[in-house]
Amino acid sequence: MSLLTNVMDHSLDDGYAEAAARKKAAGEGGLPKTLRAKLGLAAGLVLAALVVTVGAAQARVAAPVVAKEREELIDRIDRETDAADKLEGTVDDLRDDVSAKQQAALRDSGGSGQADLVGVLSGATAVHGPGVKLVVDDAKEATTGGDGDPRETSGFSDTGRVRDRDMQRVVNGLWESGAEAVSINGQRLTALSAIRAAGDAILVDNRPLVPPYTVLAVGDGQRLSTRFQNSADGLYLNALQENYGIRTGISVEGDLRLPAATSVIVRTAQPRTEKGTS
């Protein structure tokens, strides 16, 4: 208790107290005593006040300029957004025009029945009919890290994430099980479609998709569903669900509607003619 009492009674160290007393006795502390010192202090205070006043005035003058620049920037953003929307509409119109020309080219290349079949197989025409709806989603509580995990061989660090190779197996399994047309999140797939990864995103024909991934496949619904679930790719998807928590669901649908592919390159083979020798 004596220590606490001493600390309370002598909050200022004795050395500091003695130094302050010596400065006071020598007349060194407190306000300046000479006229020169007082004038210097006054000049410093005036200069500080002047700096503050000038800064406030400049801020007040600059405020309207900043507000004007902000409004101009907002107007520019709005104009560029409108221009981008118009360009997007133009792109959609051009895609429709290209699709119509592709249809015309298919009709000119053969009979109507053959053209329809080629259009369906190439993805150039929209289709509808019975089939299956398969939804694949990331695990509810996807974990990161995954050191030493056998799936840790691509760009994804999250072992509960659906990867590009998973979707590749799903789509290939549906084709092999008898699907006549397939789409992912409204993106129609063709024989030339590519499913790739870019960082954490899955790209289908260079277009990023976000989970959940809804895969629609037109075909004999019940038969297609049974064959896919019993195939190696269906069992692979089931293993992902059991081991990594990947969420999946498959259902047989009476009428599915798949859009045409946005960009289709129709390639046909031509018989090679041998040139005669003379």
pTM above 0.75, yes or no: no
Contact 174, 224 (CB under 8 A): yes
**Architecture per CATH, 127-146+156-258:** 2-Layer Sandwich (3.30)
Residue with tokens 């202090």: 41
Beta bridge partners of 207: 204
Which DSSP string do the residues of the chain spell out, in sequence order? -HHHHHHHHT-S-HHHHHHHHHHHHHT-SSS--SHHHHHHHHHHHHHHHHHHHHHHHHHHHHHHHHHHHHHHHHHHHHHHHHHHHHHHHHHHHHHHHHHHHHHHHHHHTS-HHHHHHHHHHHT-S-EEEEEEEEEEE--TT--B--TT-TTTTSS--BTTS--HHHHHHHHHHHHHTT-SEEEETTEE--TT--EEEETTEEEETTEEE-SSEEEEEES-HHHHHHHHHHSHHHHHHHHHHHHH--EEEEEEEEEEEEPPPSS-------PPPPPPP-
Which class for 250: exposed (0-12), middle (13-18), buried (19 or more C-beta within 10 A)?
A: middle
State residue 200's pLDDT score. 76
Contact 189, 182 (CB under 8 A): yes
Give backbone dihedrals phi and psi of 193, rounded to 5 degrees, phi first: -70, 145
Contact 246, 158 (CB under 8 A): no
Radius of gyration of the chain from Cα atoms? 38
State residue 263's pLDDT score. 65
State residue 10's pLDDT score. 61
Q: What tokens appear for 124 in the block?
A: 């150039």
Compute how many other C-beta atoms are within 10 angstroms of the C-beta atom of residue 212. 15
State residue 268's pLDDT score. 65
Which candidate, 107, 130, 214, places its Cα nearest to that of 167? 214
State residue 110's pLDDT score. 56
Beta bridge partners of 184: 187, 215
Per-residue pLDDT of the chain (278 residues; tens, 9 = 90+): 566 666 666 665 666 667 667 766 665 555 566 777 777 778 888 888 888 888 877 777 777 777 878 888 999 999 999 999 999 889 878 877 877 776 676 666 555 566 666 667 677 778 899 999 999 999 887 654 444 443 444 444 456 889 999 999 999 999 999 999 999 998 899 888 889 988 778 998 888 888 999 999 999 999 999 999 999 999 999 999 998 889 999 999 999 999 888 766 656 667 777 765 54
Which candidate, 58, 181, 209, places its Cα nearest to that of 122? 181
